[in-house]
Structure 1
């Protein structure tokens, strides 16, 4: 067992080192910690005013429940949760699985109202109707003016359906998890890999959480965003920073591919509330690979497929599915109760899915795997070469990558570091063009690297043909 770190040591490594995912786990582990949005729109833990330092017991809980500090990795947690399930299978890319599917919900308006195939909300509905849960811990629109979204508890199907959209926006779990610690009932939770993993770790620290959180629904997502991503999208639509009231990040468009969605923003324009719809492809920020307003910690996870979740849901980014503007889900099932729900849904024609193999699931997220898992080795190498502390990951540091792939990683890191600083100056100047001009230079140099890569790939192909 590793020694218990001091609060200052823990904070320096995780928060100052930018390895904090902002989940709120520390504020669950210690009542002396609170979660606040910093000047760049990222959640970070802070010591409450006039609060004592966390006790040794609390420090241990903070360390044990933190993804960047815990002695347990995703493989350890998944092994404990799923390895004893009958007929469970394992693949080192996607983790444990008992069923792999691609498709959508045909029952009701779950697909129409969801971001892709509608499975998240539909699974919650089935769990609720079968008496498996009393409520769902999910991201909802916030009632506070200082933020757009927050985690809350939904106790009815109507409440669950109201919050059935993808949110590219930071949220934290401490407030709602602290309620669950003191509230009887059975719950399901939905979240990104870091949130599900740290909820698992918290459940090992606090037995009441393990008892009450019965199901964990995982989402696939390339990286986490700061609040400034939503703010900047709205600014491009004519809604100045501070005036955004609502945003739908994934408004489906009937005349395009599943990837050709729009954003819908509502906010004050010249003192009057207006709703504006713009296609995402027409806005700066649509290139997910560039990662503008990305939380830095996102580049130091190796969990693509949310391996500790009972079921993982993602977009089916495959040629045969992306043409369907209504959207389809990739589904990785691990929990036998959810497997039964899926199979019953097939029998009762509530869902339309195809059973697929691991390769098909992998292909749906191939670019995500390359950046998150494979090329993490290079990012770790850079940190270690600079003699900087890095969290222990399942990927081994390496410099053994083609020159062009390393330069792409370097440019993504540069964009991640520079964008928040440039944007802060643009807001201070009240000048969106200040940001757009400087972002255009970063974007051009990024795209130039892909042009070089394309030429290299073409030459390699031609040489092979000879």
Structure 2
């Protein structure tokens, strides 16, 4: 959560492994800088003020100067990252060109000292930046690093998921010091934020106590396998490792929404529409089958587009221009969940506080089965956290694992027609029709 100069907010863990603010912040100020506050400017309004001259505009991708698909050829950025290496490469390039003095991004932390596996930090050299490569499906917050930026003169870039970048831009509009010092934002496409309990669940399923985990890599690349076949690696305090494919995890189906932060149910931005440049995975063939990983890049600042073009000409990176439709296809599932799914959630399960989103509230075009899929995701996101908390409190991991296996089986029957239940849903759908 961002902080303004008017007051301070401290983040603390709740019982479900999410970070929440302990407000010492005036309500009006909080409403202006919280990315989910109904009174805050939305992504379209922020982007209009930042990228009015952008060449392209799309209802799902936002304003942008250019879009590309590709990867880094220079060094081992690609092999050491979870995708094509473009986000880490751009962060390093900004330092090399003296565009910024530091990069605020997520780096590994020692859970025995910090009480968490990852936290935001400021990197000032290539080695520090590259220590933060790879995906981090773990709760983090900006509070401490923004205070560092406030108290340490210099020019900074901030790397973050869509809601974080939106919060930074809202804060920039409120705070003259932050506005002077944050000169660039790098966005990361986002499906949703997991709670810290996802690590604990992985440990249970790997046969170890969560307290024995020292570090985690959520996406280990395996030669000969598509980059989309996620494999997690747990580093243990005794020096041993445990690895497990995501599809062998009872809660490894990303779309089902296990341990999802509740706020993610009401987010409508997948591609970081308020970031100067944003990076995601090219989840479309032939790129999704490439074990080395490939990025899709959406650039909104002409200066950053110039950096990309120069590097491509010198063969340091390899990029091919694409259009908005291509970007949409690479993120089709996420965009569908954040737009038509959000429209249905606003109708079926409106939040307890008023919110303003960029989608209509009509879901009349959705069939009954699709509505059930969105309901199942919502319930799995909520109940996974409640059930895990109960299992942890009574020291009975099997309770959660049994529940999760049953929940994902029902979800996959609905969403993918898997198993006998899936065939039953198919038959009922044919008999009853989409309604």
| TM-score w.r.t. length of structure 1 | 0.87
Checking the alignment, whether the CA contact within 8 Å between 2:70 and 2:319 is kept in structure 1 is yes
Q: How far is 1:288 from its partner?
A: 0.7
In the alignment, structure 1 residue 444 sits paired with structure 2 residue 413: no
Which of 393, 398, 421 aligns to 1:433? It is 398
Deviations 1:204-240 (A, max 9, x none): 1111111111110111111001000122112211221
Q: How far is 1:306 from its partner?
A: 0.8
The aligned counterpart of 1:300 is 266
Which of 347, 361, 379 aligns to 1:397? It is 361
Checking the alignment, whether the CA contact within 8 Å between 1:241 and 1:427 is kept in structure 2 is no
Matches within 5 A, 1:15-34: 24-25=1-2, 27-28=3-4, 31-34=7-10
Which of 35, 50, 53 aligns to 2:11? It is 35
Matches within 5 A, 1:363-442: 363-384=329-350, 388-400=352-364, 401-442=366-407
SS in 1 for 2:219: strand
Checking the alignment, whether the CA contact within 8 Å between 2:84 and 2:295 is kept in structure 1 is yes
Which of 31, 41, 44 aligns to 2:20? It is 44
Cα distance in 2, alignment partners of residues 281 and 198 from structure 1? 34
Checking the alignment, whether the CA contact within 8 Å between 1:383 and 1:389 is kept in structure 2 is no
Gaps of 5+ in 2: none
The aligned counterpart of 2:91 is 124
Deviations 1:13-49 (A, max 9, x none): xxxxxxxxxxx22x545545311011110000114xx
Q: How far is 1:59 from its partner?
A: 3.1
Checking the alignment, whether the CA contact within 8 Å between 1:202 and 1:209 is kept in structure 2 is yes
Checking the alignment, whether the CA contact within 8 Å between 1:152 and 1:176 is kept in structure 2 is yes
Q: How far is 1:276 from its partner?
A: 1.7
Larger mean CA deviation between 60-69 and 166-175 belongs to 60-69
Checking the alignment, whether the CA contact within 8 Å between 2:343 and 2:359 is kept in structure 1 is yes
The aligned counterpart of 2:296 is 330
Q: How far is 1:406 from its partner?
A: 0.8
Q: How far is 1:456 from its partner?
A: 7.2
Matches within 5 A, 1:234-273: 234-268=203-237, 272-273=238-239
Larger mean CA deviation between 293-302 and 433-442 belongs to 433-442
Which of 202, 206, 210 aligns to 2:171? It is 202
Deviations 1:125-161 (A, max 9, x none): 1111111000100001124341111000001111111
Cα distance in 1, alignment partners of residues 281 and 41 from structure 2? 28
Which of 131, 151, 155 aligns to 1:186? It is 155
SS in 2 for 1:404: helix
Checking the alignment, whether the CA contact within 8 Å between 2:246 and 2:252 is kept in structure 1 is yes
- What's the RMSD between the two structures over aligned residues? 2.0
The aligned counterpart of 2:101 is 134
Checking the alignment, whether the CA contact within 8 Å between 2:227 and 2:292 is kept in structure 1 is yes
Cα distance in 1, alignment partners of residues 109 and 297 from structure 2? 29
Cα distance in 2, alignment partners of residues 220 and 457 from structure 1? 36
Q: What number of residue pairs does the alignment pair up?
A: 422
Cα distance in 1, alignment partners of residues 172 and 234 from structure 2? 37
The aligned counterpart of 2:256 is 290
The aligned counterpart of 1:102 is 69
Cα distance in 2, alignment partners of residues 397 and 36 from structure 1? 33
Cα distance in 2, alignment partners of residues 118 and 458 from structure 1? 43
Checking the alignment, whether the CA contact within 8 Å between 1:383 and 1:390 is kept in structure 2 is no
Deviations 1:279-311 (A, max 9, x none): 222222221111100001111011121100011
Cα distance in 1, alignment partners of residues 132 and 193 from structure 2? 19
Larger mean CA deviation between 227-236 and 327-336 belongs to 227-236
Checking the alignment, whether the CA contact within 8 Å between 2:250 and 2:408 is kept in structure 1 is no
Cα distance in 2, alignment partners of residues 115 and 64 from structure 1? 34
The aligned counterpart of 1:318 is 284
Checking the alignment, whether the CA contact within 8 Å between 2:215 and 2:234 is kept in structure 1 is yes
In the alignment, structure 1 residue 63 sits paired with structure 2 residue 31: yes
Cα distance in 2, alignment partners of residues 240 and 100 from structure 1? 44
SS in 1 for 2:141: coil
Checking the alignment, whether the CA contact within 8 Å between 1:28 and 1:178 is kept in structure 2 is no
Which of 245, 249, 272 aligns to 1:279? It is 245
Measured at CA, do residues 426 and 166 of structure 1 come closer, stay the same or move farther in structure 2, by a change above 3 Å? same
Larger mean CA deviation between 103-112 and 38-47 belongs to 38-47
Cα distance in 1, alignment partners of residues 428 and 120 from structure 2? 45
Which of 127, 135, 148 aligns to 1:166? It is 135
| TM-score w.r.t. length of structure 2 | 0.93
